Structure 1
């Protein structure tokens, strides 16, 4: 009986001893686990900053993990990201105690200093040490960075978001705007309007036109959402970033070639020959002439879906590229879909303006094919720039 008591006491003490390296205090060293890769420019900047902190914080013990050179480091990185619910986060990635710091900026320097100062006098849990020791994490082990009000920005409709996300909002606006000047869809919309304005029934005009626009928006949103789910599964694979960069660069060159090839084309769309365009026009005439409004709306919706499939090949990957950029950034789940909605809204904005203006004035005063053809030129230049950034300066385009 006495031996049994001693055994229980021994196991209890052993458990406490195994727990001590994980639950630390100011008197011990403060371990900082730094995940990086050699091709990351911000990683080098943060490494220099962390080295400079050693004089300021003598307790700091920096542990380095190159996630490219070491498979063991890469596996640990995956486990740490999963623990912090940051599965899509990229390097640089720093963990001190229960706090993770993703990316590097002047604000990151302030956050790291504040955390180290706090841990000098407070008890904290070494989360990475627990992961390495295969110990279960508790809900209170993970801490959030204590932001100040200046670290957030308020956007119209979206509300308050981290300031780093602002670049994603601007990216949605710029890429969506360029993608919107797509000659493959514009010529069909303008032809549709040219038939609608001769209808006597204004209600029918609006319903058929809005059916085309809303179906286009829904179709584009569904396609981009599906691409986003695929992008999530491959975002953490470094060579995928290289492939996406090459894709963007090559299709950027293809867009420039399309602009040069179709610079004299009155339509500006290289997808499909004249015969196919005439068939589409004949189909639109038939739908507009359909007396049953419901049948006409269904037909217009089906036509819009087909047009969007053609349009995706004409856009040469701008929506695909934006969803890939989204996947590389760690955001609240709802924000991914908000940014896609922003992209789709801006993408359709020119169509909405052209259609609304025509319905109100009963005149077509939209964007000419000459301007829509410039979308290939501008889109090509943007994709080449993004491709080069993904290949050689990834941290500039991966906003997190």
Structure 2
């Protein structure tokens, strides 16, 4: 029996081995210098030859971030209001070196480079922006307090001598600043007691703590929401439904509930693992080349094309280009599924199920490229730690598997056989195609809108509404007059 399944790895499947190999080669690419970057002691301030203190203020932002755009007028006004402030404006999506600088500075103050906009100065870091009256006021108070402390310290140490002294003293001062968890920066030589020891406390943003992912600001909950929405829609994959329901229908005739659970569960878990690797390949590709602005637009254009093909399949099923499992491939899948019924031994049964899952998923990936493409691009537009990217991928795939696992449970409990009808498959294609189309348009025109929860929910509602109306109208159009 083992020989029977080893023969299934025909030359036509060599491309699958190549795909897995490419994925494994790409995985390390997501661990660039972010993981092994050396944290250097940052320079929070300097003293010029005239003895004047100059503070360094780092502003990290992204073009796709609406809160970053809102913060720009305030940030640009700071050097005018405070001549002693040196502004370092760092956009992340087009400049990978800025990402590395963000990671290093965040690590220097004991934080992680996760969100934008981010403001780093005086040994402290603040993320998020509300308005000039709230967040802006807090930053101004912190800067003024920090400047006052450092100026008092420098004046007490003879500013002219510090400006012309050897670099060792300056490095020592900045090293002390790097270890300070507050804006009061000089540990060895504290400023006079009349100067506040720390700046006014920065009010924390409303957040929700998620296990392993940490605290997520409420205004940034769009990524978890989009994960649930896209993975949920992606889970209703007609290609996966077709193979799984056919396989379980055969298992019903075998009359064994444990075998059905074993085969169905293995099939779904293997599909989820392959899907995870497939999405990891997209993720690493975008992490490597995603800093280019046109990559987001290209991803949107590809998603739109895939969406139009899915929508076409609702009206003209299997006519022209299609993302369905080709008819020529179905006999081979049927043959492999029936082969599972001919063995009573566990090992060949497990191996056969795994081989069938790999073979089926090689076709299923063609059906569902759109959602992984859109989601992984959205993921890389967010500044997350490496582990965060993969945790989101794991969450996506866990949600993706839920509908398939429910099908396995239904068949095992009811012991009934059922196949996915053509009409149901077409409806699923229409819904996923519409959602893909809307997301692709947003990626091309205004990708920053995907950072808003209400946009994610509005897109889902629009896709559901249009699908329901289309199916209703199309059903009435094909209903004979006497049946109405």
Smaller-chain TM-score bracket = 0.7 to 0.9
Residue number among 60, 72, 85 corresponding to 1:47 in the alignment: 72
Which is bigger in relative contact order (C-alpha 8 A, separation at least 6)?
1
Residue number among 112, 130, 149 corresponding to 1:106 in the alignment: 130
Alignment of 1:79-94 (within 5 A): 80-84=101-105, 94=119
Residue number among 98, 104, 108 corresponding to 1:77 in the alignment: 98
CA distance in 2, matches of 1:303, 1:33: 53
Asked if 1:240 corresponds to 2:295, the answer is yes
Deviations 1:123-144 (A, max 9, x none): 579xxxxxxxxx8985953879
Residue number among 141, 154, 169 corresponding to 2:178 in the alignment: 141
Deviations 1:162-211 (A, max 9, x none): 43552111111111111111111101111111111122333222211111
Deviations 1:145-178 (A, max 9, x none): 9875653214589675343552111111111111
Asked if 1:353 corresponds to 2:377, the answer is no
Residue number among 189, 209, 221 corresponding to 2:244 in the alignment: 189
* Other-structure match for 1:214: 269
| Structure 2 contact 318–324 (Cα < 8 Å) conserved | no
Name which of structure 1's ranges 344-353 and 146-155 shifts more when overlaid on structure 2. 146-155
* Other-structure match for 2:278: 223
Deviations 1:339-394 (A, max 9, x none): 21221122111111111011011114686553343332222222222223223322
Name which of structure 1's ranges 302-311 and 76-85 shifts more when overlaid on structure 2. 76-85
Asked if 1:323 corresponds to 2:376, the answer is yes
Asked if 1:119 corresponds to 2:143, the answer is yes
* Other-structure match for 2:395: 342
* Other-structure match for 2:16: none
| Count of aligned residue pairs for this structure pair | 363
Asked if 1:262 corresponds to 2:287, the answer is no
CA distance in 1, matches of 2:437, 2:431: 10
CA distance in 1, matches of 2:401, 2:407: 10
Return closer, same or farther for 1:140/1:196 CA change in 2, 3 Å cut-off: farther
| Structure 1 contact 97–124 (Cα < 8 Å) conserved | no
Asked if 1:152 corresponds to 2:176, the answer is no
Residue number among 177, 190, 206 corresponding to 2:232 in the alignment: 177
CA distance in 1, matches of 2:405, 2:97: 49
Q: CA RMSD in A?
A: 4.2
SS at match of 1:262: coil
Return closer, same or farther for 1:234/1:140 CA change in 2, 3 Å cut-off: farther
SS at match of 2:254: coil
SS at match of 1:121: helix
Please list every run of 5 or more consecutive structure 2 residues that lacks an aligned counterpart in the other structure. Answer: 1-42, 152-170, 184-200, 454-484
| Structure 2 contact 56–87 (Cα < 8 Å) conserved | yes
CA distance in 1, matches of 2:96, 2:389: 26
SS at match of 2:365: helix
What is the TM-score of this pair, normalised by structure 1?
Answer: 0.74
* Other-structure match for 2:335: 282
What is the TM-score of this pair, normalised by structure 2?
Answer: 0.62
Deviations 1:90-123 (A, max 9, x none): 9766544445556x54279744432331231235
